[in-house]
Amino acid sequence: MKYVARPLEIWGGIEPTIVRIGDTWRDQVQETGHADRPEDLDRIAALGIRTLRYPVLWESVAPRSLEERDWGWHDARLRQLRDLGVDVIAGLVHHGSGPHYTDLLDPLFPEKLAVYAESVAARYPWLRHFTPVNEPLTTARFSALYGHWYPHRDDYPSCLRAVIHQCRAVVLAMRAIRRVTPEAKLVQTDDLGRTFSTPGLRYQADFENERRWLSFDLLCGRVDRHHPLHGFLLGNGVTDADLAFFQENACPPDILGMNHYLTSERYLDERLDLYPSAHHGGNHLQRYADVEAVRIEMPPNMLGPAARLREMWERYHLPVAVTEIHHGATRDEQLRWLVESWQGVSALKQEGVDVRGFTVWALLGLVDWRSLLLRHDNFYEPGAFDVRSDPPQPTVLADAVRTLARGEAFQHPVLDTPGWWRRPGRHYVPPAQATTSPSSHEARMLLITGGTGRLGRALARFCELRGLRAWAPGRDELDIADPAAVRQALAGRDPWAVLNAAGRRPEEVLKDPEGSWRDDVDGAAVLARACADMGIPLVSFSTAHVFDGRLGRPYTEQDPPAPVQPFGRNKAEAENRILAVHPEPLIIRMGYPVEPEAAMAPPCLSPAALSHVHDLAQVVLDLLIDGRNGIWHLTHPEDESEEITTAVKLSSRQGRVMPPAGPWLDRFVAAEAEVGRTA
């Protein structure tokens, strides 16, 4: 009989980590704002997600003692999810070490978690799936081998003791839960990235590839005297009694969950001079570089979540799931990673592997994970929703999730090009034979008008870096005020979107009013009409100077324009004409433009009146890919430091423009001219 697999089920998850660092605590539910937005759950359910990894964290419910529990927030959220028809995989400890009255090295950590787990099951008897401890091995490494998180130890005996305690806690917690809910299922997660190496470092790679299975092997009762790590464990403080507990009380997961990231796969190389110094490290025997395996040339099918999921299935023959899949990058790369991973795992399921779910992780994004939460940079990575807007804005990932949940293939022009991890130029060590991107010559393109201007150049540059094919003609190549030329260009190039970065500078508007009107107003209208007729999305750039600056508060998109100078009047009229002919344009009002080559701005301007052109280009491309439209104000936050960097710090929250007041325009023009001379 031919095997017929059911379609792969798409799950979701929010980043819920509560972690202790020194004497401070970080709570991602608070930092992403989900704590105060119950309506997030309605948005998630509307995507078609029917299984959600969701926190019922020990540190949140019982922070002071096991006897004092505050269920109020969780009562409301879990009841809401139940009413929405969403099944919950309840997480009890997520990268934490429990409340202040315990930690990963506390011998009673397992028993204390079991008491809490039983109270969760009693409080919510309808819950059927639990993850008592997320990523036991990964958490132990970060907390007790690398010293990043509490209890900040950096030795193998502490790390292994933390693994033993967490896995024992899983066993005892599931035993306690099943006393209340006999049919409860264990969904156990960990990061299972594989390590590759040069021949000279095969011994280290082999060790790491055995170590990655440790938490699962313990729970399945596989760690006996024949296990490859048996001697290593005993030599670092693990006892025969510790191992006997798991053999006698095996608790095989009902679903093995794999958390996977692009950085999960590593490559070890003793040739340090070939790699950036930040990747240099080693063991007690030798020094070597530890880099992302995707930056090394190797067969594509050796890397990625599908390859690792196959290994898990072949090792345990238990149901498996992808329980986290996230990529902290630009929107196009996030989408490419999601769709590529989904396709690979879907193919695996069609082969007969029992894959239960594919989890789109960090649906609401996450904060400061690029520093493992060690720094308070407030560096936000969006997920399916961008919570920097009120209400949160769905990103293109939300569109993809909604489509995949319906069992349909998701299409988007950015998928014409593979992700950076498959494009030429990614390698630390160039391959012996040059590789080419298989579909780059067939990718649909973007048209960027005004390609020789500062904004046009920035947009074209970031399109190149992001694998977005683009044509960026200057004014001499494409006159946007010429209807015939515009239609010929659109018909010949067939762009999937147009970004109109053409326009005159303020001092040019004063010197040449007629020519500026033709380029800024007539040209914008001609381009908008042609795009509307041909069904092409349009992005157009305006300015804070459509306002007079006298309102006394930041302007929102709902405030009516009130220009007082020719430059602002031109842009305001261009907005009106675009909106009159194009049904859904994206109009970006920007502040005073600065760039690293000439980061000069009038001293009278606050940071909230500035738009760094590199930041602007990146954010606008994200908004375009997300399918956003309407008028958006994009400037730097009011509290931005004077130093403007190329990091994407622009706020995509609407209502953030604080334009320069009308009387300052002379200094604005003078500074603009000075930037032009020094750029």
CA distance 261 to 329: 12
pLDDT, position 599: 46
The pLDDT score that the predictor gives to residue 555 is 85
Query: Fold for domain 444-678?
Result: Rossmann fold (3.40.50)
What share of the chain has pLDDT > 70, as a percent? 90
* Average pLDDT taken over every residue of the chain: 90
Residues contacting 547, CB < 8 A, separation 6+: 555, 559, 561, 562, 563, 568, 657, 659
Q: What is the pLDDT of residues 649-678, one digit of tens each?
A: 344 444 444 333 333 334 333 433 333 333
Backbone φ and ψ for 94, nearest 5 degrees, come out as: -130, 95
Q: What is the DSSP string of 249-299?
A: T----SEEEEEE-GGGSEEEES-GGGS-GGGEEE-SS-EEEEEEGGGS---
Q: Which helix (H) or strand (E) holds 31?
A: helix 28-31
**Residue 485 · residue 442 · CB < 8 Å:** no
| pLDDT value of residue 650 | 41
Q: How many CB atoms lie within 10 A of CB 35?
A: 15
* Residue 513, pLDDT above cutoff 50: yes
pLDDT class of 455 with cuts at 50, 70, 90? very high
pLDDT tens string 547-606 = 988 887 888 899 999 998 899 999 999 999 999 999 999 999 998 777 765 545 555 455
The structure tokens listed for 578 are 């675009």
Rounded average pLDDT over 205-217? 98
- Write down the pLDDT at residue 431: 87
Phi, psi of 324 (to 5 degrees): -150, 135
3: left (phi over 0), alpha (psi -120 to 50) or beta: beta
How far is Cα 10 from Cα 51, in angstroms, rounded to an integer? 8
SS3 percent helix, strand, coil of the chain, rounded to 5, is: 45, 15, 40
Please state the rounded mean pLDDT for residues 424-435.
Answer: 83
Predicted confidence (pLDDT) at residue 355 exceeds the cutoff of 70? yes
* The pLDDT value given to residue 612: 82
- Residue 217's pLDDT is 98
Write out pLDDT tens, residues 295-334: 999 988 899 999 999 999 999 999 999 999 999 999 999 9
For residues 351-379, average pLDDT: 96
Q: Which residues pair with 360 in a beta bridge?
A: 12
3-class DSSP state of 452? coil
Q: What is the mean pLDDT of residues 188-214?
A: 97
Cβ partners under 8 Å of residue 535, min gap 6: none
Homologous superfamily of 10-265+304-411 in CATH?
A: Glycosidases (3.20.20.80)
Phi-psi region of 152 (alpha: psi -120 to 50; beta: other; left: phi over 0): left
pLDDT the model gives residue 512: 92
Position 358 pLDDT exceeds 50: yes
Tokens of 470: 């683009």
| DSSP bridge pairs for 188 | 256
Question: What average pLDDT does this structure show over 24-38?
Answer: 97
Residue 282: left (phi > 0), alpha (psi -120 to 50), or beta?
A: left
Residue located via tokens 């992005």 = 539
The amino acid present at 175, given as its one-letter code, is R
Q: Average of pLDDT values for 351-364?
A: 97
Please tell me the predicted confidence (pLDDT) of residue 656: 41
Q: How large is the angle between the packed helices 613-626 and 454-465, nearest 10 degrees?
A: 60
Helices (H), 406-522: 454-465, 483-493, 506-511, 513-517
For position 435, what pLDDT does the model report? 59
Which pLDDT value is given to residue 389? 86
Using CA atoms, how far residue 36 sits from 74, 83, 197, in Å, is 12, 19, 46
> In angstroms, what CA-CA distances link 504 with 454, 521, 573?
11, 10, 14
State residue 534's pLDDT score: 97
Is pLDDT above 90 for 437?
no
Mean pLDDT over residues 47-64, rounded?
Answer: 98
Rounded (5°) CA angle 608-610-616? 110
At residue 49, what are phi and psi to the nearest 5 degrees? Answer: -75, 130
Place 61 in a pLDDT band, splitting at 50, 70 and 90: very high
Task: Check whether 240 has a pLDDT greater than 50.
Answer: yes
Q: pLDDT confidence of 440, banded at 50, 70, 90?
A: low
Residue 202, pLDDT score: 98
> What residue spans define the domains of the chain?
10-265+304-411, 444-678
More confident residue, 550 or 147: 147
Asked whether 104 and 143 are in contact (CB, 8 A), the reply is yes
| 22 vs 441, residue with greater confidence | 22
